[in-house]
Structure 1
Amino acid sequence: MSREKFALCTETEVAGWYQPPMDTIALAHRERYLAKCQALRSVCLGEVNLTTAARESKLCRKQLRSMVDRASKLALDGRPFGFRVCVPWGSYSRDDAANDGAMPTKPCPHAMATMLAAQPQIKEWVHGFSTPLPTGQIPRKFLELHKKIVKELTRKDLQDFYPLNRPDKGKRALLRYIRSRRIETAPMPDLFPGESPQISRLAEIFHGDIFDRAELDGHRIDIKAELQVPGPNGGTVTRPVTALWWIPEVETESRAILSWVLRVGRNYNNQDVTQTMANSLQKWTQRDLITPELRYAPGAGMPSALPDPLGFSRPLLVALDNHKGHHSQKVEDAFCRAHDGILTFGRPHQPRTRPIVEQLNSRMEKGAFRMLPGGFEPATKLGEDKVRISDFSPKDHPIQLHLLEEFIDVAVANYNATPHPALGDISPLQFLQQRAIREVCLYQPSDASQCAADMNSVIVALKVVGNKKTGTLPHVNYAYVRYRGPDLEGRWELVGKTLVARVNRNDLRTLVLYRTASQPIGVLRASSPWDQTRHDETTRMLIHQWSKQEGGFSLKGVECAVTAYVNFLRANARTSQQAADQLAYIQHQHPTSPSPSSRLSLMSSPMRAPTRGWISMDDMRDS
């Protein structure tokens, strides 16, 4: 049924409605404003129905209906809204100067602001009030201000106006007004893009440029490895290895792998962490591969092999988790002395704090490690079994760690030269070279070539022991072993004093003794049987543990402690899982058929012996 025309208001009432002047309407909204006024007038006078007026003026019918209902209602000024309902939102505001200075007679919205506008002196007092207004008991200063306002309004004989005509004389309204005004006029932070925002997290400082941040973490490889050990009747048998650990360090912006270390055993320790950082500080070169059909891809390599200034650059921040090997004091001392930067520790098993290295471990597992003999995919739910991935049995293909290390070196070098989807289909090495062209500040100390060896050393305080009466020559003790040398013979004045020693943790056969930080005494050598074969700190600790256990081996009368230790492990590897793991570790350090490599190894590099006497500090590092 069609709607009939009807009149809601008379022409006299519509003519008396207030209509905002055209100059107060924004230019872009004037045409829309006139169309709304014409539609409102037509509907209220009954010239057209609501639907026709909305269609002709191109308005929403519901919006026009709301305008019609509100136009005849009274506004706060006591007059109908009228054509003020046609003003587009945000294009018109009433001028404060239009206030005629009249005092409000009753409480209504903005009555306190109207009273202050009519009383400039009181407004100045209220806006100048700065005493804090916490919740709870009202401060005495505010009560004095309210009493002063009441006295001023009484003096002007305004008892019949707001707020004196209220029981509380407007005290609550005044308190609410001051608090609301302070919230509205509170200073806001500068949001202009030209201003640098305030930094609240450490990660916000080192983010955006290459070598700002690196992530290091140990990952247990998903592989069930077998090791060949001597068996009865002169044969060999296979024994399972507890675990293989891969410890990578990755640069977060380029996703490039800076260095890595392979370890065997139940867990890795702090020496493996320092070795990983030390590997990133020395120049990488391709190995002479002995594995058939194993090749480096074109352009494969490591960031340390890139030309300057990338070759010896190092990250400013290294992120780790709370593994006990990361929190070692030896790691922190070596990092502050040789690496420099910031160490930040996150929560373990939280991939979100170190997403890049966790994603790298997943890529290496799926793309390389699980394809090796014994590779598997671990169970994801409780009660499920792991899924075998590799088609090769670990018993038929026993592991040789020095060959596995060769395979990982090729895989990592090829990864750095493979286009990465997160970098726009360019490789990590290409990304580093492109970003290095820009004006990026890279940290390169002047003694970068010495930092790798220093990263694997430790500085300890040792007491000189000796007795001239009994003929005990001056010596020092470190890691259960006595150290002596020609530079310490006859130095009876040093007995009882505590000196400083620098020890290479990868070769404990020698150490350097210092009288002070800049005055070396000389090189001391370990006593027999520890002075024959190179061994690291972990190996010595394991030998000492075995020698103290019942059924262990004895070092009495042996010429070389490491050789005797290896023979002992081979004899017990068939029945002891711990012996099998340690035999794999020692064979990794001393492979029976080592692969020749042109890369400088810290474990085979000669120990630098400083000259006697005082040394110059002219070439000290300027980091």
Structure 2
Amino acid sequence: MSRSRIYEQDGLEPDQANPELWPSVDENVLNETAHTVYIQRKNAVLMYFRRDSLDSIQHTTGVSPRNLRRLVQRCIQYDQDGVVLGFRGLIPQKNVKKYELDILSQKRNKDQKTGEFNRFLELHPDIKDMVEDLYLGRKKRSLEPVMKIKHIHKRFIDQCRQKGITLSEYPLNTKWMGYKALQRYIKQLSEQNFSKTAARYGNDAFQKANRVGEADQNSLSNVYPYQKVQFDAHRIDGFFAVDLVTPDGDLVTKTLERFWILTIIDVSTRNILGYSICLSREYGGSDVMQCARNAVMPHKRVELTIPGLSYHEDGGFPAEKLPELEWAVSDVICLDNAKSHYAKIVQDRLTNLIGCTPNFGPVALPMRRGVIERFFKNLAESLFHRLPNTTGSGINDPKRNNPEEKALKLNITYDHLLQLVDVIISNYNGTPHQGIYQQSPLELMEKRIRETGLLPRRLEDDKRSEMLFMQTSIKRTVRGSLKSGRKPYIQYEGVEYRSERLANSAYLLNSELVLHVNVDDLRTLKAFLPDGSEFGYLIASGRWSLTAHSLQTRRAINSLVLKKLIHYTTWDDPIFVYTDYLMSQKNSKKSTNKITQVNEIRRKKPTDSTTEQSKALEEAKVQHELLDKVREEQINREKLNEMDNYDRLIKQFKTKY
């Protein structure tokens, strides 16, 4: 051995030359013989690094200088993961070097084929590429989606024959023609290409293998309340009844199509901050913002009519129990990649109003929002799946037993659901949770706020408006003409919007105004001049200003009018015409959801409508009432005239004959 020690050679990394940085070995798992040998080797190597003499090392441990050099070389090698072997290289019978076939070796057993397959692939890299491409589905080598190993082996043999390999050469000279070796090679290939191999078992497996558990994605700490929240939606597992009024005034009971519950949960404390119900077949951007609005605004409890149903004293929503959390907002909101989450209103309101950052995360990975996914599972098990009208978790679920019939027979209504959901979620916040060490979410929220003194951000006073959450901005050109005498107006979603001030502002013709639209109520629009100055409220013309309706309802009505499926006159309320049409449709459940959704918007009264807006709507209502009165008087006069004409004709007839 040379005088210079191995660890003093140039080019070695610190983790190679310092035994204190080496990975350790659990000595207790070694059998008695292996343990004795390992301890001797370990002591010899440590003495070598302490610069003890070689004679002393051999005398103390029994390890010869030649063998010691070999052991040290094993210890400073790197494994396949790029980690120095360290003391692992001293384990008896441990292979630290990949086997390579040496055809020139005198000790080679020609009857054994160990290493022949790898050597064959090195000599024929085109065959190696073909095998890997077929297994990993690369370069479109085959139209078969997932090729089995036996079919890959057939292509492998065909390729060997095309290259002129004879029956006396490997692999054609073996019993299985390299099949077993191919299996082992593909197993190694699958381990080295975990994500791509997972794609063979479906897109879900590929997404999990490709995104879950990498780097520091799962180690982010969320200690502070409202630091991060998660949003998601769940289709309610049940059918519910609702009472509707027919155009003839009769009361009928129908079942609703399955609809959605949308929820926002605080990650650090597991508190449900807010929720909303969406009756549409698919929820949209406005539904997302309704949920976000409910999570920020102070919660109002539902009036309970179900006998025996009550709120627990320990339950509630965070702002109910802790006044300092009223109008509190989050820093980050985690959503999935649904199209509704990318809607303009969602992006604008989350960023510019609430001031939180949307985090969409990777595609098709609900486990990244595991907190809220777990809540939905608990909600289904504790509420929806316990009701007689449940659809269960699937069509084959034994809990599913004629849910529509049960909903009608037992009169389990939509109003009952609203009460149940509000009570269950409120009580959930006050119930001990296993994920937070048997503390209730509200208890943990209060503890962290009291102990740390770190309060979440609160929405500014000038932004605490219910309508602002549902507001989007658009630009429209003022129309009208001096030549035709048509006064200025704004056109939005097929309806003209006017005001007395706009009618007297001819200078605004052909100029562009900025409009703030409340997508929950299109009866009014708030207009701003191009320089940002407030102009005032514009009122929808005709009967559109009488009944509150959403942007979704307006578009549905315009679509039906365009298809000539409905028609309304100047004297008709488009919303009533729309609901009458839906009542006449055969697809009762789909229409029932739409009618209920319209009725919910009509019943809802805005809590923060401005004086100017309310005054404009009231003036429009009074004007329509006057027009109705004038029209009724005109109709009565026409009826009287018809009666007079009829009497005169009768008299003429009697006189003549």
Q: Which residue of 1 aligns with 2:84?
A: none
Separation in 1, partners of 2:309, 2:393: 28
* Letter of the structure 1 residue corresponding to residue 484 of structure 2: T
Separation in 2, partners of 1:262, 1:467: 45
Q: CA deviation at 1:309?
A: 2.8
Separation in 2, partners of 1:218, 1:429: 22
Deviation per CA, 1:208-250, whole angstroms, max 9, x where unpaired?
A: 2211111111111111344455689986665443321000011
Deviation per CA, 1:359-391, whole angstroms, max 9, x where unpaired?
A: 010000000122234213223xxxx72332579
* Letter of the structure 2 residue corresponding to residue 338 of structure 1: L
More displaced 10-residue stretch of structure 1: 313-322 or 397-406: 397-406
Q: Which residue of 2 aligns with 1:556?
A: 569
Change (3 A) 1:275 1:59: closer
Checking the alignment, whether the CA contact within 8 Å between 2:582 and 2:592 is kept in structure 1 is yes
Deviation per CA, 1:322-342, whole angstroms, max 9, x where unpaired?
A: 111111112101112211111
Separation in 2, partners of 1:561, 1:232: 14
Q: CA deviation at 1:396?
A: 0.9
Q: Which residue of 1 aligns with 2:327?
A: 312
Mapping for residues 256-275 of structure 1, pairs under 5 Å = 256-275=271-290
- 2:531 corresponds to 1:531: no
* Letter of the structure 2 residue corresponding to residue 570 of structure 1: M
Q: Which residue of 1 aligns with 2:397?
A: 386
Separation in 2, partners of 1:587, 1:237: 15
Q: Which residue of 1 aligns with 2:554?
A: 540
Q: Which residue of 1 aligns with 2:148?
A: none
Q: Which residue of 1 aligns with 2:409?
A: 396
Checking the alignment, whether the CA contact within 8 Å between 1:317 and 1:341 is kept in structure 2 is yes
- 2:609 corresponds to 1:606: yes
Checking the alignment, whether the CA contact within 8 Å between 1:464 and 1:499 is kept in structure 2 is yes
Q: Which residue of 2 aligns with 1:584?
A: 596
Which has the larger share of helix? 2
**SS in structure 2 opposite 1:522?**
strand
Instruction: State which of 197, 213, 224 in structure 1 corresponds to 2:228.
Output: 213
CA RMSD of aligned residues (A): 3.7
Separation in 1, partners of 2:494, 2:331: 37
Q: CA deviation at 1:482?
A: 0.7
Instruction: State which of 534, 542, 551 in structure 2 corresponds to 1:520.
Output: 534
Q: CA deviation at 1:66?
A: 6.5
**SS in structure 1 opposite 2:544?**
coil
Checking the alignment, whether the CA contact within 8 Å between 1:280 and 1:304 is kept in structure 2 is no
* Letter of the structure 2 residue corresponding to residue 559 of structure 1: D
- 2:296 corresponds to 1:284: no
Checking the alignment, whether the CA contact within 8 Å between 1:401 and 1:584 is kept in structure 2 is no
**SS in structure 2 opposite 1:309?**
helix
Checking the alignment, whether the CA contact within 8 Å between 2:246 and 2:580 is kept in structure 1 is no
Mapping for residues 35-434 of structure 1, pairs under 5 Å = 62-63=36-37, 81-86=55-60, 207-228=222-243, 239-347=254-362, 349-379=364-394, 385-388=396-399, 393-434=406-447
Deviation per CA, 1:55-87, whole angstroms, max 9, x where unpaired?
A: xxx9999459969xx99xxxxx9x963455527
Instruction: State which of 445, 449, 459 in structure 2 corresponds to 1:436.
Output: 449
Separation in 2, partners of 1:320, 1:569: 33
More displaced 10-residue stretch of structure 1: 464-473 or 236-245: 236-245
Separation in 2, partners of 1:234, 1:312: 43
Q: CA deviation at 1:518?
A: 4.2
Checking the alignment, whether the CA contact within 8 Å between 2:230 and 2:369 is kept in structure 1 is yes
Change (3 A) 1:203 1:214: farther
**SS in structure 1 opposite 2:543?**
coil
Q: CA deviation at 1:287?
A: 3.0
The structure with the larger Rg is 1
Change (3 A) 1:87 1:410: same
Checking the alignment, whether the CA contact within 8 Å between 1:539 and 1:586 is kept in structure 2 is yes
Q: Which residue of 2 aligns with 1:469?
A: 483
Change (3 A) 1:85 1:501: farther
Checking the alignment, whether the CA contact within 8 Å between 2:548 and 2:601 is kept in structure 1 is no
* Letter of the structure 2 residue corresponding to residue 419 of structure 1: P
Separation in 2, partners of 1:449, 1:389: 46
Separation in 1, partners of 2:299, 2:336: 27
Instruction: State which of 493, 496, 506 in structure 2 corresponds to 1:492.
Output: 506
Change (3 A) 1:378 1:554: same
Checking the alignment, whether the CA contact within 8 Å between 1:370 and 1:376 is kept in structure 2 is yes
Q: CA deviation at 1:532?
A: 0.4
How many pairs align?
A: 426
Checking the alignment, whether the CA contact within 8 Å between 1:282 and 1:449 is kept in structure 2 is no
Separation in 1, partners of 2:421, 2:39: 76
- What is the percentage of aligned positions where both structures have the same residue? 21
TM-score when normalising by structure 1: 0.61
Change (3 A) 1:85 1:221: farther
Q: CA deviation at 1:407?
A: 2.2
Structure of higher RCO (CA pairs closer than 8 Å, 6+ residues apart)? 1
Q: Which residue of 1 aligns with 2:90?
A: none
Change (3 A) 1:458 1:399: farther
Q: CA deviation at 1:286?
A: 2.4
Deviation per CA, 1:477-510, whole angstroms, max 9, x where unpaired?
A: 1121110011212111101011111122211111
- 2:571 corresponds to 1:570: no
Change (3 A) 1:516 1:434: farther
TM-score when normalising by structure 2: 0.58
Separation in 2, partners of 1:366, 1:474: 58
Q: Which residue of 1 aligns with 2:14?
A: none
More displaced 10-residue stretch of structure 1: 285-294 or 533-542: 285-294
**SS in structure 2 opposite 1:388?**
coil
Change (3 A) 1:205 1:425: closer
* Letter of the structure 2 residue corresponding to residue 355 of structure 1: G
* Letter of the structure 2 residue corresponding to residue 344 of structure 1: N
Unpaired stretches in structure 2, ≥5 consecutive residues: 1-31, 46-50, 64-71, 74-213, 614-657
More displaced 10-residue stretch of structure 1: 339-348 or 391-400: 391-400
Checking the alignment, whether the CA contact within 8 Å between 1:206 and 1:316 is kept in structure 2 is no
Separation in 2, partners of 1:477, 1:235: 37
- 2:429 corresponds to 1:455: no
* Letter of the structure 2 residue corresponding to residue 606 of structure 1: S
Q: CA deviation at 1:433?
A: 0.8
Separation in 2, partners of 1:505, 1:368: 32
Change (3 A) 1:521 1:66: closer
Separation in 2, partners of 1:520, 1:65: 85
Change (3 A) 1:425 1:219: same
Q: CA deviation at 1:404?
A: 2.0
Separation in 1, partners of 2:318, 2:595: 33
Q: CA deviation at 1:308?
A: 4.0
Checking the alignment, whether the CA contact within 8 Å between 1:281 and 1:448 is kept in structure 2 is no
Checking the alignment, whether the CA contact within 8 Å between 1:221 and 1:246 is kept in structure 2 is yes
- 2:497 corresponds to 1:483: yes
Checking the alignment, whether the CA contact within 8 Å between 1:371 and 1:389 is kept in structure 2 is no
Q: Which residue of 2 aligns with 1:616?
A: none
Separation in 2, partners of 1:61, 1:514: 84
